Amino acid sequence: MNTLKNHLILFDADCPMCNAYTKAFTGLGMLDKQGRLSYQEFPDASCPLLDRQRAVNEIALVNQETGEVTYGIKSLFKIFGTSVPFLKSLFELTPFIWLMSKAYAFISYNRRVIIPGEKIDISQVQPSFKLHYRIAYLIITCIITALILNNYVKLMAGPLPQGGAWREYLVCGGQLIFQGIIVSFTNPKERWAYLGNMMTISTIGALLLLPALMIYSWIGSAPVFFMIWFMCTAALMLVLHIKRSSLLAVNPLLSLSWVLYRVIVLILILTF
C-alpha cells in the first residue's frame, strides 16, 4: 500500500468517528505516522490557505510542501487514490464525485448526532448546520427503523396484535412529531440536535433486532422469546436516550415523554 507523504489530515477532535478513521489512515500506512492532527490544535499561521470553517465542515488535507489544501471527499479520494492506484480513475469520474460528495456531506453534517463526543470544546469553530441534511437524516433513519420493525413485529404474533403494513411507519413518524413538539417547548435551540440523536438511538435499536430476525429460521416460532428480546432492546435504548440527553443538557422530561409515547402506542395497539 502506497503512502501519501508530506500531507497532514485535519480531523475534528470532538468527533469519535473522525478520530477513528483518520487514525486508521496513519495506522495502515496510507498517511505518514505523524500525518494527522485535530484542527483544534492546528495553528492558523501554519497554513494561510486553510479555510478553517470549511475544514470544520469538510475534513481538510494539507500538502505540507506546497500549502495546497483539499477538502471533504476530495481529501479522501487523494488518500485512497495514492494507496490504491487502480481506483484513481474511478475517483476522477464526475458522476461518482458528485454522488460521493453528497454521501460525504450527509454523514459529515450529521456526524455529531450519529456518534456524539463526550465533551465539545465550544471555544473552537463548530460545524455548520444544514437543515436539509438533518431532515434527510431523520427521514432515512425513520424509514430504516420502521422497515426493520415491520418485519420484527411478525415474530411477536400472539402476544402482540398484528397491524397493517404501514403501522410501524406511522409509529416512527409519530414519534418524531410527538418528541419534536415536546422538545420545541423544553429546549427549542436543541430541537434538531435532539431529534437527530433520538433517531440514531431508534436505528441502533432496530439494528439490534436483526440478530433475532436472522435466528428465526433456526428456532422457529417463539413469540415470548422475541418479545423478551424486544423489551431488552427497548431498555438499552432508554439508557442511550438518557445518556445522550445528558450530553445535550436537555430537559429530563424528554426521556419521560419518550417512554410515555411508547406506552400510549402499546395501549392503542392492544386496544384496537
Percent of the chain with pLDDT over 90: 79
Mean pLDDT estimate for the chain: 93
Residue 194 near residue 187 (C-beta atoms within 8 A): yes
Domain ranges of the chain: 7-114, 131-271
Cell numbers placing 266:
402499546
Q: Give CA–CA dist 45/186, Å, rounded.
A: 42
**Could you tell me if 11 and 19 are in contact, meaning their C-beta atoms sit under 8 angstroms apart?**
yes
Confidence band, pLDDT 50/70/90 cuts, at residue 83: very high
Q: b/e per residue, 8-40, with b = 16+ CB within 10 A?
A: bbbbbbbbbbbbeebeebbeeebbbeebbbbbe
The pLDDT-based confidence of 247 (bands split at 50, 70, 90) is very high
How large is the average pLDDT for residues 81-86?
A: 92
The pLDDT, as a whole number, for residue 120 is 76
Residue 239 CA to residue 246 CA, distance in Å, equals: 11
Determine the pLDDT at residue 162. 83
Residue 235 class from Cβ within 10 Å (0-12 exposed, 13-18 middle, 19+ buried)?
A: exposed
